[in-house]
């Protein structure tokens, strides 16, 4: 069986659950199977946005992020249910438990998808046999469908898993790239969004094949180092390992909310930013991290969306700092039109114990007064351990009490997973 595996390369699987939230609801209530079903973040007509929907609903044109009123117009018989996050979390844990029975090298990337490195799992069968076994077990034990991509690296495995849905298994080798990937539009490539695809068109790059042969200097000028990385991916080059520990790394923490109505009053918008800042602050403190970059998202009533970020002189996680800086960033970029959605994101996170503070002309007196307290805390931690004194925000919070908007759930779903084998 070892002959079925490459001598020098790797075999990577990307397991992607199909219409996960909707599928979990169908597994919980079989009477929903075969019917057009949608999960909406808020079931109210005005605020409701489709989070996911069944394949039966998609046949009517219903799509993710579509307003609920529009979805019902396309499909009057649409069944709408609010999300049940605890139910989805349990299904996700069950799915990853199954994956780990085939290899320890499992990297969850969201609640419903993950990578597996099965290079050393040859005793369990060929790559396609392992993929088929995993798919059947998930379907039999959890009553959930999934698609699996089989490839020599993560990028190709991800592209492969998207090719046959639902319940598909696709093998994508490097020799298949010219025939299978290159004819596709760049917008169909993993890692390239609509805006990036439009930028690439300015260079005459419309297909993945065009990107694979593009001029690197032009790409770097247009998109920075990401442009070079995209070209590598288009040629099937991706050296990223499957990293089980990456789940503990948080690159950003944010919250956003769709407003109950289109709002153009500055004070009302400020109050919403303050509320979001408090939620983001709680989550940053729970992870014991600080943000060194702050980002905001503004979506206008015509659905035009802008995102802006600002590198910070000092790492922050306090709600007042987050609120004040987000207001400044908002005012700098808001055009005065009515707003439909607001979001705040802490980015480029650093561990609290490794964060530093740069004193400046405006803060040094305030910080100097606190210095004796900081020194005392430092001495206590050095003598008794880092966790001897913690802020209230770092303590575990009742898992039944959900904080923040639903948009934060996908990034926090793994907080109930053990981080190492010693933990219960």
Strand pairing report for 169-171 and 79-81: unpaired
What does 301-332 look like in DSSP terms, one character per residue? TT--EEEEEEEEEEEE--HHHHHHHHHHHHHH
Distance CA 415, CA 248 (A): 9
Active site residue 113: yes
Strand pairing report for 252-263 and 169-171: unpaired
Dihedral Cα 126, 127, 133, 139, nearest 10 deg: -170
Residue 368: phi and psi, rounded to 5, are -60, -40
> Is 5 strand, coil or helix?
coil
Q: Which two tokens stand for residue 70?
A: 């529009």
Whether 398 has a binding-site annotation, put simply, is no
Instruction: List helix spans (H) across 294-414.
Output: 319-333, 364-384, 409-412
Residue 10 is classified by DSSP as: -
- Chain Cα centroid distance, residue 384: 37
The sign one gets for the Cα dihedral 38, 42, 43, 47 is: negative
Residue 185 is classified by DSSP as: B
Residue 254: phi and psi, rounded to 5, are -150, 165
Distance CA 17, CA 40 (A): 18
Q: Sort 197 into a burial class: Cβ within 10 Å, 0-12 / 13-18 / 19+.
A: middle
Characterise 242 by phi-psi region: left (phi > 0), alpha (psi -120 to 50), beta (else): beta
In the set 25, 113, 278, 406, the catalytic residue is 113
Whether 176 has a binding-site annotation, put simply, is no
Q: Which residues are catalytic?
A: 113
- Binding-site members for Mg(2+) are 16, 112
């Amino acid at each position: 069986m070892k002959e079925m595996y490459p001598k020098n390369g790797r075999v990577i699987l990307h397991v992607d659950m199909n219409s996960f939230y909707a599928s979990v609801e169908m597994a919980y209530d079989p009477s929903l199977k075969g019917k057009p079903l949608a999960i909406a973040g808020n079931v109210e007509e005005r605020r409701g946005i489709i989070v996911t929907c069944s394949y039966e609903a998609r046949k009517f044109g219903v799509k993710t992020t579509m307003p609920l009123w529009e979805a019902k117009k396309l499909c009057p018989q649409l069944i709408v249910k609010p999300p049940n996050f605890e139910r989805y979390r349990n299904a996700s844990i069950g799915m990853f438990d199954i994956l780990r029975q085939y290899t320890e090298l499992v990297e969850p990337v969201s609640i419903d998808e993950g990578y597996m490195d099965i290079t050393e799992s040859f005793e369990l069968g060929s790559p396609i046999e392992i993929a088929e076994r995993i798919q059947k077990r998930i379907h039999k034990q959890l009553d959930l469908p999934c698609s699996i991509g089989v490839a020599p690296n993560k990028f190709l495995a991800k592209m492969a898993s998207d090719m046959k849905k639902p319940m598909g298994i696709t093998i994508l080798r490097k020799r298949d790239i010219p025939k299978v990937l290159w004819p596709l539009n760049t917008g169909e490539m993993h890692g390239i969004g609509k805006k990036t695809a439009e930028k690439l068109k300015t260079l005459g790059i419309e297909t993945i094949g065009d990107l694979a042969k593009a001029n690197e200097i032009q790409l770097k000028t247009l998109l920075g180092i990401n442009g070079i990385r995209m070209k590598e991916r288009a040629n099937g080059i991706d050296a990223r390992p499957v990293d089980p520990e990456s789940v503990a790394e948080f690159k950003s923490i944010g919250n956003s909310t769709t407003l109950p109505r289109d709002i153009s009053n500055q004070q009302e918008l400020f109050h919403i930013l303050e509320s979001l800042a408090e939620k983001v602050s709680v989550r940053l403190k729970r992870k014991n991290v600080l943000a060194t970059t702050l980002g905001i998202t503004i979506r206008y009533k015509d659905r035009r969306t802008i995102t802006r970020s600002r590198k910070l002189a000092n790492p922050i996680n306090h709600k007042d700092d987050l609120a004040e800086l987000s207001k400044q960033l908002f005012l700098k970029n808001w055009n005065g039109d009515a707003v439909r959605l607001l979001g705040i994101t802490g980015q480029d996170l650093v561990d609290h114990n490794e964060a530093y503070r740069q004193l400046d002309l405006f803060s040094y007196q305030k910080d100097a007064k606190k210095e004796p307290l900081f020194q005392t805390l430092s001495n206590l931690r050095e003598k008794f351990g880092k966790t001897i004194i913690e802020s209230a925000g770092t303590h575990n919070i009742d898992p039944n009490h959900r904080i923040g908007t639903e948009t934060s759930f996908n990034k926090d779903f793994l907080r109930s997973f053990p981080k190492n084998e010693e933990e219960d």
